[in-house]
Amino acid sequence: MSNELNGKRVLWVEDDEFLGTIVEKKLLAKQCILTHVTTGEQALKYLDTNLVDIIVLDIVLPGMSGFEILKHIKSAEKLKEVPVVLLSNLNRPEDMEMGVKLGAERFLVKATLSLDDIVDQIADTLHKQ
């Protein structure tokens, strides 16, 4: 299923350098066009001038939270249809509910998934668009 990422533009917003690097390698191996940023401010600046097919967004980031970024994305006319997958270590029901309420397609808990699972979930989200 993850061959569906071939040529897809993915914005990866993750401040964990180790996780960011290993998932980046997995995604690039699937032939996607990947941009990895580490802060919400960098993500929004990038999205001002670039189109993407999907956004994978951590919730706990320095400065602006993933929820704040998601609110901005879903309120912007040119971005509101872009699917967003939240990927976090937070697994409280209220965080998951907030993500869905704000318009995320999926809420993935890092600790419960393998790297291949994460890549497959990203591909599946794109497939359902």
Global pTM value: 0.93
Residue-number span of the structural domain to which 6 is assigned: 2-127
- pLDDT in the model for residue 2: 44
Write the pLDDT tens digit of every residue in 64-102.
Answer: 999 999 999 999 999 999 999 999 888 888 999 999 999
Which amino acid appears at position 50 of this protein? N
Give the CATH number of the domain where residue 30 resides: 3.40.50.2300
Predicted confidence at residue 4, as pLDDT, reads 79
pLDDT at 3: 66
**Contact by Cβ (8 Å): 80, 49:** no
For residue 105, the tally of other CB atoms under 10 A from its CB is 20
- CA gap 27, 49 in Å, rounded: 22
Is the predicted pLDDT of residue 44 greater than 50, yes or no?
A: yes
**According to the model, what pLDDT value does residue 22 have?**
87
Residue 1 in this model has a pLDDT that exceeds 80: no
Number of domains in the chain: 1
Average pLDDT taken over every residue of the chain? 91
